[in-house]
Amino acid sequence: MNISNANGQSVLIVGGGIAGMQAALDLADQGIKVYLVEKLPSIGGRMAQLDKTFPTLDCSSCILTPKMVDVARHKNIELLTYSEVQEIKGRPGNFTIQILKKPRYVNIDTCNGCGICVAKCPKKAPNEFNMGIDDRKAIYFLFPQAVPLVPVIDSDNCIYFLRGKCRACKKHCPTHSINFEQQPEIVEIHAGAVIFATGFGLYDPSKNNDYEYNVFPDVITSLELERLVSSTGPTEGHVVRPSNGEEPRKVAFILCVGSRSQKANYWCSRFCCMASIKQAILLKEHYPNIECTIFYMDIRAFGKGFQEFYERARAELGIRFIKGRVGSVKENPEKENLLLRYEHVEAGYVREEDFDLVVLAVGAENALHEYPVPLELDDDGFITTKDRYLAPVYTTVEGIFVAGTAEGPKDIPDCVVQAGAAAMEASILLMGGKQNG
């Protein structure tokens, strides 16, 4: 396909999660050149950390991996991973962008992704992708299906960078791709439009010590459970209590942790109710005798198929739903588990009950506080759109668009739809069409 219909202009997309990738593919398929900048060593975003997706329980990586490969192979997409945008100057149709390429210390053009370097590396560090539940090596792939499948050296933990010794990776690399001398590099590009798809962060329950998250190892977050239940996760899908490595028999899910709260974030994160129901269903599928209880304020089952998903969990699978807040989590040393005190609003009683594992459905927050261009942000920290009703992908800066959870919490289908819309508006701008916003 010729790159001709956009007056020779290109689009910069910042963030390589599902929203950024979808926008990149939609533009590239129109023949428009795209620069896709991702700060991590691989594209994929949070979706790469998910096991299955609600409400269909499709395998997340089975949907995501082919898209990642399509992005990498598309001749109109230039992928800049492990890179960050430093500065954006100019105006619609003519932006000049400075991008910092961080050193991987591995030559991306010659590495064949064989992984011998990783196997030979003697140094371990916490595995961020698995939420620190296990360790990775100092030279590592972000995850097994990473795109590009090229490892990166974490210089803070590499013995060579710390002490000047050990070159195990370099010694054993069959393609001579290790380069300890690599330096940060600034690349300048030009683009006619920019799309921010920088995603979301998650509320950290240790900030307010919610539900003794800091104190008891068997109080975990929803993303930690997502990694535990995943077959590519640290326990290969075997869900265990962090305290003793045993399978839990009774699991409590607490919804709206850090969301819809005066003490933390006031907004609803939109995907947590369904994500928790999904996780309870997955636990039931893995361990039919497990007891799952979901403590909720309201169940927000607003999407297509969501109400049916909730009904199936409740009526068919026997997942218990209790409307009420959990007041406290304490240790029950005799039984070696956790004692939850809660109010059952509908039944009108307060009770204490033991659980083996407590999962906190932590809410979404903005991922970035500062942007390389003065974008207006809402009170909740997500990117403000010019007109919520009629121009929901336009930011307040002309020529700059937004897609996915960078604009506000949403699920994967909504990210994909918004990414398509942002790609279309960017393409109209490049072709000199009438702007909507």
Q: Which is closer to ligand FAD, CB of 82 or CB of 394?
A: 82
What residues numbered 211-230 form the site for ligand FAD, per CB under 6 A? 222-223, 226
Q: Does 14 bind ligand FAD (CB under 6 A)?
A: yes
Q: Does 71 bind ligand FAD (CB under 6 A)?
A: no
Q: Does 30 bind ligand FAD (CB under 6 A)?
A: no
Alpha carbon distance 32, 161 (integer Å): 41
Work out how close the CB of 279 gets to ligand FAD at its nearest, in angstroms, rounded to a whole number: 8
Q: Does 54 bind ligand FAD (CB under 6 A)?
A: yes
Structural tokens at position 302: 């607003």
Structural tokens at position 60: 């997340």
Q: Does 15 bind ligand FAD (CB under 6 A)?
A: yes
The 10 Å Cβ neighbour count of residue 82 is 21
Work out how close the CB of 42 gets to ligand FAD at its nearest, in angstroms, rounded to a whole number: 8
End-to-end Cα, the chain, rounded Å: 29
The closest of 264, 272, 132 to 209, measured between CA atoms, is: 264
Work out how close the CB of 185 gets to ligand FAD at its nearest, in angstroms, rounded to a whole number: 16
211 in Cβ contact with 331 (< 8 Å): no
Contacts of 231 (CB under 8 A, 6+ apart): 51, 237
Q: Which is closer to ligand FAD, CB of 47 or CB of 429?
A: 47
- Strand 364-366 and strand 200-202: the pairing is antiparallel
Alpha carbon distance 187, 401 (integer Å): 22
Work out how close the CB of 431 gets to ligand FAD at its nearest, in angstroms, rounded to a whole number: 25
345 in Cβ contact with 296 (< 8 Å): no
72: helix, strand or coil: helix
- The amino acid at residue 53 is T
The closest of 343, 342, 250, 260 to 298, measured between CA atoms, is: 260
Q: Which is closer to ligand FAD, CB of 80 or CB of 290?
A: 80
- Quick one: residue 121, left, alpha or beta (phi over 0 = left, psi -120 to 50 = alpha)? beta
Q: Does 205 bind ligand FAD (CB under 6 A)?
A: no
Q: Does 81 bind ligand FAD (CB under 6 A)?
A: no
Residue from the set 26, 38, 365, 425 that interacts with ligand FAD by CB under 6 A = 38
Tell me phi and psi for residue 31, to 5 degrees. 90, 15
Strand ranges (E), 249-348: 250-257, 291-296, 320-323, 326-332, 337-344
Q: Does 67 bind ligand FAD (CB under 6 A)?
A: no
Q: Does 253 bind ligand FAD (CB under 6 A)?
A: no
Work out how close the CB of 40 gets to ligand FAD at its nearest, in angstroms, rounded to a whole number: 4
Work out how close the CB of 359 gets to ligand FAD at its nearest, in angstroms, rounded to a whole number: 9
Tell me phi and psi for residue 25, to 5 degrees. -65, -40
Q: Does 366 bind ligand FAD (CB under 6 A)?
A: no
The torsion angle over the Cα atoms of residues 388, 393, 394 and 396, rounded to 10 degrees, is 60
Which part of the chain contacts ligand FAD (CB under 6 A), choosing from 38-46, 181-189, 230-238, 252-260?
38-46
Q: Does 199 bind ligand FAD (CB under 6 A)?
A: yes
Q: Does 16 bind ligand FAD (CB under 6 A)?
A: yes
Alpha carbon distance 32, 152 (integer Å): 30
Work out how close the CB of 22 gets to ligand FAD at its nearest, in angstroms, rounded to a whole number: 8
Residue from the set 76, 127, 198, 230 that interacts with ligand FAD by CB under 6 A = 198
Q: Does 405 bind ligand FAD (CB under 6 A)?
A: yes
76 in Cβ contact with 1 (< 8 Å): yes
With CB under 6 A as the rule, give the number of residues binding ligand FAD. 38
Q: Does 101 bind ligand FAD (CB under 6 A)?
A: no
Q: Which is closer to ligand FAD, CB of 32 or CB of 383?
A: 383
Residue from the set 178, 368, 373, 424 that interacts with ligand FAD by CB under 6 A = 368
Residue numbers at the binding site for ligand FAD (CB under 6 A): 14-20, 37-40, 45-47, 50, 53-54, 84-85, 197-200, 202, 222-223, 226, 271, 275, 278, 367-368, 404-405, 410-412, 415
